[in-house]
Each structure stands twice: as structure tokens, then as C-alpha cells.
Amino acid sequence: MNQFKRHHIAESTFAKIYIAGSIDVIKQTCRHWCKKNPSCVNVSETSFIYCGGEETGAIVEFLNYPKFPLSEKQIFAKAKELGFELKETTAQDSFLIATPKTTHWWSDREQKWTTSELVNSAL
């Protein structure tokens, strides 16, 4: 027998922010942002391993919560706003947001390498 009083369904969508930096700073920024902008995010610590180095950081995920459903555009807009705030508080030059359909990358850095130059430099 079903003991639940309510059951809600929403279209499944998400926006994930990928950003390097201190996990403590990232979590604190998310706490403050979510308090100002009633939201709930998942924060998972991660490692970014790339040609020539490694950094720690986090994946900050917005899900479409059926109790308070939002459109894909609304979820992306929230992720973008929080992403830019995280970029500032972590003093990073870039961050990325992945959704089910698109991936967006913002960077303050000048392009220094072409893909072929980067591959050849690793050889």
C-alpha cells in the first residue's frame, strides 16, 4: 500500500556547473546564493585532470525538482547566474555549464593554443 501523501512528476532536465577552486568556497557561495535565490543544488567535489596539470573543484548541479518545476531555460538561467558568482568567489578564469542538449564555456583567458598545437605539445 502506498504510504506517500503526494507524488509529483516533472520533465527531467538539469544544468551542471563545472568549476575549479576550493570546495569550501564553492559550498559557501552556493549556500549564500541559494538563500538569496530560493533553490537547491547538489555539490560534488571533483578533480580536473588535463594536459600538464590537475586541479580540484566541484560539479554544482541544478535538477528539475517536481515540487517546484522549472523550464530548461529557467534552470539554465539560474545555473548561469550562480556560475558567474562562483567564478568570482573562486577567482577562476573560466567555468562550464552542461545541459542535456548543450555545453557552454566562458573564459576570461585569451586563446593560446589551437587543438593541434595542444595535442602536439603533449607528444
Please state, in angstroms and rounded to a whole number, the distance separating the CA atoms of residues 31 and 85.
12
For 1-60, how does the pLDDT look when each residue is reduced to its tens digit (9 = 90+)? Answer: 578 888 888 889 999 999 999 999 999 999 999 999 989 999 999 999 998 899 999 999
CB of 14 within 8 A of CB of 100?
Answer: yes
Query: CA-CA distances (angstroms) from residue 23 to 29, 47, 59, 89?
Result: 10, 11, 10, 11
Please give the full DSSP string across 98-122, using - where no structure is assigned.
E-SS-EEEEESSPP---HHHHHHHT
Mean pLDDT, all residues of the chain = 90
Domains assigned to the chain: 14-121 (3.30.70)
Q: What is the rounded end-to-end Cα distance, in angstroms, of the chain? A: 62
Please give the full DSSP string across 19-77, using - where no structure is assigned.
EES-HHHHHHHHHHHHHHTT---EEEEEEEEETTEEEEEEEEEEE--TTS---HHHHHH
Tell me, what's the pLDDT at 109? Answer: 83
